Structure 1
C-alpha cells in the first residue's frame, strides 16, 4: 500500500492562526543547503525567489524538499504572473505562491483563476504526474486543491497602491506583500525605499489590507523600517536575505582583519 500523505498548512492558514506577525527572510542563492540552513534558523518563513535570482524549477523543487523537514513556511516568488508558469510551479509542490508586479484588481482576478482548476479557474490538470499531489498520494487532492494553496500578490508600484483597495477585495487573494524598492522607483525615488512618500504609500497599503481583513506583508531589511511597519499592523515581514547576509558578513571580516590595507573604502559599501 502506498503512503497516504497530508500537505503542510498554507502560509495563509499560518497567518490566520498566529497571535503575532510572522518574520522571515529571502533565500536567493539557489542552494538547497543554504535554504535548509535558513529553514532551521527559527524564523517563521523563507521566501525562495525566482524573479531576481538564478532559480529554476529544478532548484526550487530541491529547496522545497530540503526545507520540508522543518516547521518553516516556504513561500516561492514566480518570475511573473503567467498562467503556464504558475501551473508548473504549483505542480512541483509550491503551496505558497507570491506573484510580483500586480498592479490592478483585474490582474489579481486572473491570478486567482490561474491557481484554480476548472470550472473556477484555468489551471491544467496533471496531478497524477506532479509532486503537488505527491503523485496522487494526497487523497482528494483535486477537490481540495484550493485549500492547499495561498496566493500572495505583490503591491510594488504607484498604480498598485492606487488600486490597493480593489486588489485587497478580490476573492481568493490570501495576502498582499509590499515591495518598497520597486514602489520607490515607480514613484520617482529610485533607491530610496525610506523616502517619506514611499513610507506613506506602504502604510496606506497596510491600512487598506487591514480594512479588508487581508494580511499585508512588507520587505524591510532595515530594522527601523521593519519595526515601523510591524507597529503599523503588518502581518509578516521579510527582514533579510541569504546573499545579503553573506555579503555584509564577509565584508565585515575583511574590514576587521584587512582594513584599509587592501585599498578599499568601507564607507562606499551599501548598508543593505
Structure 2
C-alpha cells in the first residue's frame, strides 16, 4: 500500500512560514515541468481566468509531481462538483475565488471533505487515492487537504473575521484586481485606497490567526504585504514573465 502524500504547503502555512509561488496561466505541461524546477514553493494553476478546464489540469499536476513544489488549483467558482473533480485528480490544495461570507466558506470546506465531515463525493480508483492503493484515504484525506479562500470585494473584507473562524479554512487570499473594482477603481489596484484596504485586510487575517496570501506584480505592495504579515505570496505570472522576456 501507499502512504497519503504529505502536503508540505499546508504544513508551512500552519507554521506561518513564508511561501513564494508562481501563478500559472500557460496550459503546456512542458512549461509547467520547466517552471517546477525553478525553486518556487508553490505553483497555482488557474481555471478561473486562464484557458484551463479541469481535465487540462491533470497533465499539469503530473508534470510538476516529481518536483519539490506544491501544486494549487483554482476552480472558476465555488462549485462542489468542480472541486470534487479537482481533488480526485490529485490536487491537495484548492484556492476558491469570490468567497463572500462564512456560509460560503463553510460550503467550500464541506466540498473538500468526505462524509460525515463534508459532502465530497466518494470514488475509489482516483489518482488522489493512489488508484486505490492509499490505505484509509477516505478517512484521512482531509488531513492533507488545504483549503484557501479568496476575499476580493469590499463586502467580503468586512467578513474576514467570520470567514477566518470557519473550521477548515487554512488561509485567506486577498484578490487585488477584483477588490480594486469593488472599491471603485477598476484596473487600478495601485490606487492608495486599494493598497490600504489590502494591507489592513492582511493584518486582520493574521490577527484572526490565519495565513494571508496575495498576488501582486507591484514590488512596493509585495514588500508591504510581507511586512504586514502575508505568508503565501506571488509576484510572477508565467504568461507575463514570458511576455516581458520577449524583446525585439
From 95, 101, 106, give the equivalent of 1:104.
101
Task: State the Cα distance separating 1:17 from its structure 2 match.
Answer: 4.0
Describe the SS at the equivalent of 1:173.
coil
In structure 2, what is the equivalent of residue 265 of structure 1? Answer: none
- Inter-partner Cα distance in structure 1 for 2:214 and 2:26: 21
Aligned residues of 1:218 and 1:237 also touching (Cα < 8 A): yes
Alignment partner of 1:4 out of 2, 5, 9: 2
Task: State the shift of 1:129 in Å.
Answer: 2.6
Map of 2:233 onto structure 1: 237
**1:42-57 correspondence to structure 2 within 5 Å:** 42-57=39-54
Question: How many corresponding residue pairs?
Answer: 248
The counterpart of 1:158, out of the listed 154, 159, 173, is 154
Q: Which residue of 2 aligns with 1:38?
A: 35
Corresponding residue number in structure 2 for 1:200: 196
TM-score, normalised with respect to structure 1: 0.88
Q: When the two structures are superposed, what TM-score results if normalisation uses the length of structure 2?
A: 0.96
Contact 1:23/1:43 (CA < 8 Å) preserved in 2? yes
Deviations along 1:90-124, one digit per CA (max 9) or x if unpaired, are 11111000000111111101111111111221111
1: CA distance between counterparts of 2:141 and 2:42? Answer: 21
Distance 2:137 2:8 in 1: 14
Q: How big is the shift at 1:10? A: 4.5
Provide structure 2 residue ranges, at least 5 long, that are not aligned to the other structure.
none
- Is contact 2:13–2:170 with CA below 8 Å preserved after alignment? no
Structure 1 residue ranges (4+ consecutive) displaced by more than 4 angstroms after TM superposition: none
The question of whether the paired residues in 1 share the 8 Å contact of 2:4 and 2:137 is answered with no
Please tell me whether the aligned partners of residues 32 and 59 of structure 1 are also in contact (alpha carbons under 8 angstroms): no
* 1:120–1:6 Cα change, 3 Å: closer
Contact conserved, 1:7 with 1:138, CA < 8 A, in 2? Answer: no
- Check the 8 A contact 1:24/1:45 in 2, yes or no: yes
| 1:10/1:150 contact within 8 Å kept | no
How far is the alpha carbon of 1:57 from its aligned partner? 2.4
Match of 2:145 in 1: 149
Q: 1:168 aligns with which of 160, 164, 169?
A: 164
Q: Cα distance 1:10–1:113, how it changes in 2: closer, same or farther (>3 A)?
A: farther
Provide structure 1 residue ranges, at least 5 long, that are not aligned to the other structure.
Answer: 255-272
1:1-272 equivalent positions in 2, closer than 5 A: 4-17=2-15, 20-126=17-123, 128-250=124-246, 253-254=247-248
RMSD value over aligned CA atoms?
Answer: 1.3
Cα displacement (A) at 1:6: 3.4
Max Rg structure: 1
What is the distance in 2 between the residues matched to 1:112 and 1:10? 19
Distance 1:29 1:40 in 2: 16
SS of the counterpart of 1:160?
helix
Give me the whole-angstrom Cα distance separating, in 2, the residues matched to 1:228 and 1:204: 11
Give the Cα separation in 1 of the matches to 2:15 and 2:229.
Answer: 16
In structure 2, how many angstroms separate the alpha carbons of the residues matched to 1:68 and 1:181?
30
